[in-house]
Amino acid sequence: MSESGEPFFINKIRLKSLLIKSNMIGRNSVKNTAFIALGTVLIGPLDILAEKKTNPIRTNYMKIQDQLKDIELPTGIRERYVPEVNGLTVHVLEAGFETPKRPAVLLLHGFPELAYSWRKVMLPLAAAGYHVIAPDLRGYGRTTGWDDNYDGNFASFRTHELSRDALGLMMAVGHDSVHAIVGHDVGSTVAAYCTLVRPDFFRSVIILSCPFGGVPPLPFGVEGQASPNLQPVAPAKDPLASLSRPRKDSTTYFSTRNANNEMLNSQQGLHDFQRAYFHVKSADWSENKPFALTSGTAEEFAKQPTYYVLDLDKTMPESVAPYMPSQNEIDACKWLPDNEIDFYTQEFKRTGFQGGLNWYRCTINGLNRSDLELFSGHTIDVPSCFISGVADWATFRPPGALEQMQLKACTKMQSFHIIEGAGHWLQQEQPEQLTGLIVDFLQHAK
């Protein structure tokens, strides 16, 4: 229900163009004032495109607008584009914007998701009195300005840069602080980093699914010890690959050159791959019965499902294909009906997965860890909350992170919840339970 007591309903908002006349009224009766900034020049009405000189960046936006499809959003959620954010034009969904000076709640999605993944929780959060903002992260959806070339600057996708994006976005829209930053999956890592390095700006954090195990320590008190052997050594073989049933971690797979093409052009087709991937990581798949791993050994790690620890010779689409839900199961899936899967399919078909995959490359090659090491000895000292699904294996990845988060990494962890009936996609599987827990935390955090 809205603040006025009237029910929310689905309303199509047409997102056919990135260049919108400032006086155009959107389908949700919200006045759009979106514009694109190129350097210090603002592109105004569409008729400016008739100029004889061709601007390559402007031409690129014209190509993008032709590829965009309709998106269905609840009335009360609007979309807009925020230019000049750390080199990006950021596409955001927004609720609670009608009343100025509301405290801000920033929602950061994970992989392979979009701002759209928050559609079920935004209005309840806005009804609780917050200005709710959900961007397409760098590398995803309708946010532009990032490089999708595997051989490009993948370092621009590391956690540090995604955190700069978050800070720049909120400043650009006029907030001098964020009441709460909420992150899911990859977004949870970014949210934790934001509150670690800028607790003055990000005043509280809600971590969903993926625990933050803390900042890695640097060597301490080693002066006078024997110097290490600085001779180059061959990379160690992945212990998972040496098992009797050779395996590889999903992070390793996502970092490979072929992963984007294999997922985008899988044998079962992009739609069915995404359907199977969402299904197998949800509470709908009855085999999801996660438990804490006792160590980080290969033998222990291999106890995870094959969507997290793949067979060495398998792609991700091949790994999830055997668990494709039946048509009856698809029809019964109310939290993600086929028309909503269609939206994910059309977006990733247009952009590919490489932007999102580049973050995993930054993890594999140590960039994300290196950035964290600058804050060795620091903890997250703002009020924090962790929420996950009872059927979510991410809760226990990596081994020990959940315990470290509660005991050491987050010094003000005031709320911890495991939601029944949810797997990895808890903001879509159980949005009512999730929003209730978030609002309760926000109202009582100290």
Query: CA nearest 27: which of 66, 72, 59, 67?
Result: 72
Whether 190 is covered by a domain: the verdict is yes
Same domain, yes or no: 80 and 177: yes
CATH assignment at residue 177: 3.40.50.1820
Tokens of 118: 């928050």
**Which H helix or E strand runs over 205?**
strand 205-208
Whether 252 is covered by a domain: the verdict is yes
Q: pLDDT, tens digit, for every residue of 110-157?
A: 999 999 999 999 999 999 999 999 999 999 999 999 999 999 999 999
> Which amino acid, one-letter code, is at 268?
Q
Same domain, yes or no: 96 and 176: yes
Taking the C-alpha atoms of residue 25 and residue 21, their distance in angstroms, rounded to an integer, is 9
**pLDDT of 220:** 79
Low-confidence ranges of the chain (pLDDT < 50): 1-62
Whether 92 is covered by a domain: the verdict is yes
Whether 409 is covered by a domain: the verdict is yes
**pLDDT of 29:** 32
Whether the bond between 112 and the residue before it is cis, its omega within 30 degrees of 0, is yes
Taking the C-alpha atoms of residue 154 and residue 418, their distance in angstroms, rounded to an integer, is 34
Whether 41 is covered by a domain: the verdict is no
Same domain, yes or no: 271 and 177: no
Same domain, yes or no: 169 and 110: yes
Cβ–Cβ < 8 Å for 208, 395: no
pTM for the predicted model, two decimal places: 0.85
Domain termination residue (choose one: 340, 364, 388): 364
**pLDDT of 36:** 27
Cβ–Cβ < 8 Å for 156, 119: no
Domain termination residue (choose one: 313, 329, 364): 364
SS3 of residue 286 by DSSP: coil
**pLDDT of 229:** 60
Same domain, yes or no: 319 and 409: no
Taking the C-alpha atoms of residue 15 and residue 93, their distance in angstroms, rounded to an integer, is 12
Same domain, yes or no: 279 and 390: no
Same domain, yes or no: 80 and 96: yes
The residues, ordered by sequence, that sit 6+ positions from 376 with a Cβ below 8 Å of its Cβ are: 215, 216, 217, 218
**pLDDT of 71:** 78
Whether 6 is covered by a domain: the verdict is no
Taking the C-alpha atoms of residue 96 and residue 77, their distance in angstroms, rounded to an integer, is 8
Cβ–Cβ < 8 Å for 424, 209: yes
**pLDDT of 221:** 76
Same domain, yes or no: 347 and 404: no
Same domain, yes or no: 112 and 157: yes
> Which amino acid, one-letter code, is at 79?
E
Domain span at 147 = 74-215+366-444
Tokens of 243: 């098992």
As for how many domains the chain has, the answer is 2
Whether 382 is covered by a domain: the verdict is yes
**pLDDT of 41:** 26
Same domain, yes or no: 342 and 377: no
Domain termination residue (choose one: 364, 379, 402): 364
Same domain, yes or no: 370 and 336: no
Which residues partner with 380 through β-bridges?
410
Cα 184 to the chain's mean position, in Å? 6
Same domain, yes or no: 372 and 353: no
Whether 118 is covered by a domain: the verdict is yes
Q: How large is the C-alpha radius of gyration of the chain?
A: 22
Taking the C-alpha atoms of residue 47 and residue 45, their distance in angstroms, rounded to an integer, is 5
Kindly report the backbone phi and psi dihedral angles of residue 85, in degrees, each rounded to the nearest multiple of 5, phi listed first: -110, 95
